[in-house]
Structure 1
């Protein structure tokens, strides 16, 4: 299975580091996030990875070259001169994928068992599977008793998008920034340029199967702020 690491973002929450560097190179105990996630993916047998770049793109490209791509095949999906967000970034890189593939945010550190995640995704033949967990977040995805995505809710504004009228038993879970995707997803995308892949999921959940994979109780740290770097350094040595 191939994978894609979203590494193009501006990383504004990680300032001042990201004023001069990409967030992908933010170190946790001296090892950049990008390296940590390449090694994480390699540990599950993934040896071909697409990395999208925009903010300080040359630093990421140079880092990979200096480290001989960590002994695997790495493709660069260059989004300069305009960052395309998650949806546009996927569309820009779609030519790399001809089978199910994994996507994750480069600033996520986790102990999620990818083998279990991939097995569940393939057994259910979902067009998309999303890693989720029960944790604090202002935005939640809503799932029915079959773990099918049925909505999205902003807990701060009470805004919501629903694919069902029966909301009584929906579970609220936070998205972990890790997806498994069938390439046929691209046939359902009609947005162009810069857009969030969540916009696609909110439409697709009404007509196709998007599953949640609950890994509550495991480790997941969104290394998006300097304080979360310190938290990550307590766990990821």
Structure 2
């Protein structure tokens, strides 16, 4: 299976830390965040990985180049974006990388997680939907993509960063997806840049009556998006 790691963000909320270092290379307990993703994906059988870059992209290039031996067995490609394409726009632009794959992973590179990708992939294949979205219980859902679903895990609604009076669930998008290649048909039908999964694609798939499912996480997930959460991550062992 192949995977896309989204690693092009500006890291504006961490600006003191990201002035000279891209967020995906910030150290967590002495190890770059990106290393956790690469090691975990390899552990669960992923061998081909695409990483998109933008801000301080040369540092990520150098990191991959200097760690080829460490990640022996992984084929890693870099996709530089001069202008940010959005999470779904990146996938759309790099469709040839996934040619021949029925299913593949998309992982947001600014999260620290020990998710069991094996269980996630198995859940996706069992349901056979166009997308399986890892989700978790969020105490402050107004800042996240919120998901409501039925007793079988079939997604009924997806609302990105809802207003307080439109919070339909406490289950939030974890930024980890298994997607079926059928999704490219929908990506190609939307002429928009940037193109985002939460704002644009997931609601559109529901309108088109495509089946999407949740994978309810019981593993660690921490968004390394603020100085507070970054500091919290230093006390987590994965």
Alignment of 1:34-183 (within 5 A): 34-68=34-68, 70-71=71-72, 72-80=74-82, 82-97=83-98, 98-99=100-101, 100-136=103-139, 137-138=141-142, 139=144, 140-153=146-159, 154-159=161-166, 171-183=169-181
Alpha carbons 1:3, 1:50 under 8 Å: kept: yes
Per-residue CA deviations over 1:135-188 (Å, capped at 9, x if unaligned) read 22323211122211111344544357xxxxxxxxx7541111100011110101
State the alpha-carbon separation in 2 of the partners of residues 155 and 84 from structure 1.
23
In 2, Cα distance between the equivalents of 1:196 and 1:12? 18
**CA distance, structure 2, for counterparts of residue 53 and residue 66 of structure 1:** 17
Q: Report the counterpart of residue 9 of structure 1 in structure 2.
A: 9
Please state whether the residue corresponding to 1:132 is helix, strand or coil: strand
SS at 2:235's partner residue? helix
Structure 1 stretches of 5 or more lacking a match?
161-169
Name the structure 2 match of 1:27.
27
Structure 1 length as normaliser, TM-score? 0.89
Kept in 2, the 8 Å contact 1:143–1:151? The answer is yes
Distance 1:41 1:87 in 2: 20
Ranges of 4+ aligned residues in structure 1 off by more than 4 Å? none
Matched, 1:231 2:229: no
**Which aligned pairs between 1:165-204 and structure 2 lie closer than 5 A?**
171-189=169-187, 190-192=189-191, 193-198=193-198, 199-204=200-205
Mapped contact 1:22–1:59 kept (Cα < 8 A) = yes
Instruction: Give the Cα–Cα distance (whole angstroms) in 1 for the partners of residues 12 and 237 of structure 2.
Output: 23
Where does the alignment leave 5 or more consecutive residues of structure 2 unmatched? none
- Return the alpha-carbon distance in structure 2 between the equivalents of residues 230 and 172 of structure 1: 24
Counterpart in the other structure of 1:165: none
RMSD of equivalent CA atoms:
1.7
